[in-house]
A = this chain, B = another copy of it.
Amino acid sequence: MSKNVLVMEGDGIGPEIIREARKVLERVNELDNLDLEFTEAMLGGRAYDKHGHPYPEETREKARAADAILFGSVGGPQWDGKTERHLRPEAGLLDIRSDLDLFANLRPAITFAQLADASPLKPELVAGLDILIVRELTGGIYFGEPRGIRTLENGERQGYNTDVYSESEIRRIGKVAFEAAQKRGKKVCSVDKANVMEVTVLWREVMDELAKDYPDVELTHMYVDNAAMQLVVNPKQFDVIVTGNLFGDILSDEASMLTGSIGMLPSASLNEGNQGFYEPSHGSAPDIAGQNIANPLATIMSAAMMLRYSLGAGAAADRVEAAVSNVLDQGLRTGDIMSEGMTKVSTSEMGDAVVAAL
């Protein structure tokens, strides 16, 4: 049975990096007879420009029908402050997460052996680093109500947001983390601020309960401020980190930077049906858009995650990952990961090299 893959370029460097990932997907589609069918749609700032909404109705329909979605990146200065918040490029991303109930955001923070020197951290701290951050993506303060800006009786304005999680929301993301840990290092660190925030007191309780179902996994708890420190001083202590939407946003970005491999890191956002939304961890880099110099490898690695998690094509995923490792071994580097003695290549040259290595 054919599988339906929706491809969306998005903004900034999105079109360039998606083009290369698509080449790679089409090649493995042939090689492994995967029977993938590709459709296209728009999401983000350019979608707003064309359709008046960052998550247009047409995209919504195609997204709901897709088995998996491969996405580039969202946003750019041309949309800053131009429209209401719910029409901004990023709102498209939040809308699709919510619409498809993509509650489980998986963000690996891995140091590629070939790139360990690129880390801002001392090499011994990050060599061999392999953390999986499991971030809750459809709840918490991102979506909590009430929210807004109101005028108080004394005439001054007040902004407010609500951070909120129910037991079932916490349990389902916890399960994802424990199950992932069972296949890895068997450790889950749950990050909260239970000494201050009641919403995370409940978070901690539910994680403790859930841990009883996974006796083979060790659960620890850490306050978010401490986690931000521990990631810097001793990142290798972590296996799987599970946390809420906002803390996950902050910690996964911090962790990705530690690796020195930010241009390499994929992400997956899954719902309960394993329908998935795959995008690079990095942003839309508007400053280098259109120059054919962006690093397509994070998007290609995202395509590999898609093959594995949503398309049941684990062997093809392995093949793509091996090809990426192979081009790094060949010394090919885009500008962001360039170092002495390596060969600098463009976005499309990098994509072609991965296709050749398949």
A positions within 8 Å CB-CB of B: 85, 88, 90, 94, 120-122, 125, 141-142, 144, 147-149, 152, 156-168, 193, 195-203, 224-226, 228-229, 231-233, 246-247, 249-254, 256-258, 262
Query: Does A253 contact B233, Cβ atoms closer than 8 Å?
Result: no
Query: Does B159 contact A198, Cβ atoms closer than 8 Å?
Result: yes
Partner of A226 from the list B156, B163, B246, B253 (CB cut-off 8 Å) is B253
Query: Does A142 contact B85, Cβ atoms closer than 8 Å?
Result: no
Known: A167-B156, A198-B147, A202-B149. A233 touches B257 (CB 8 A): yes
Chain B residue numbers with a CB within 8 Å of A156 are 166-168
Query: Does A225 contact B253, Cβ atoms closer than 8 Å?
Result: yes
Chain B residue numbers with a CB within 8 Å of A168 are 156
Partner of A232 from the list B158, B163, B202, B257 (CB cut-off 8 Å) is B257
Query: Does A90 contact B195, Cβ atoms closer than 8 Å?
Result: yes
Partner of A144 from the list B160, B165, B252, B258 (CB cut-off 8 Å) is B160
Chain B residue numbers with a CB within 8 Å of A200 are 159
Q: List 18 A-B contacts (CB under 8 A).
A: A88-B195, A94-B196, A121-B122, A141-B196, A158-B164, A158-B166, A159-B164, A159-B201, A159-B202, A160-B198, A161-B162, A225-B250, A225-B252, A226-B253, A228-B257, A229-B253, A231-B254, A232-B257
- Tell me, in angstroms, the Cα distance from A199 to B161 when the chains sit together: 6
Further pairs besides A85-B201, A120-B122, A144-B160: 11, Cβ < 8 Å: A90-B196, A120-B232, A156-B167, A158-B164, A159-B197, A162-B162, A225-B249, A229-B253, A231-B254, A232-B254, A250-B250
Chain B residue numbers with a CB within 8 Å of A148 are 198
Chain B residue numbers with a CB within 8 Å of A163 are 141, 160-163
Query: Does B257 contact A199, Cβ atoms closer than 8 Å?
Result: no
Chain B residue numbers with a CB within 8 Å of A226 are 253
| Interchain nearest-CB distance for A187 vs B (Å) | 20
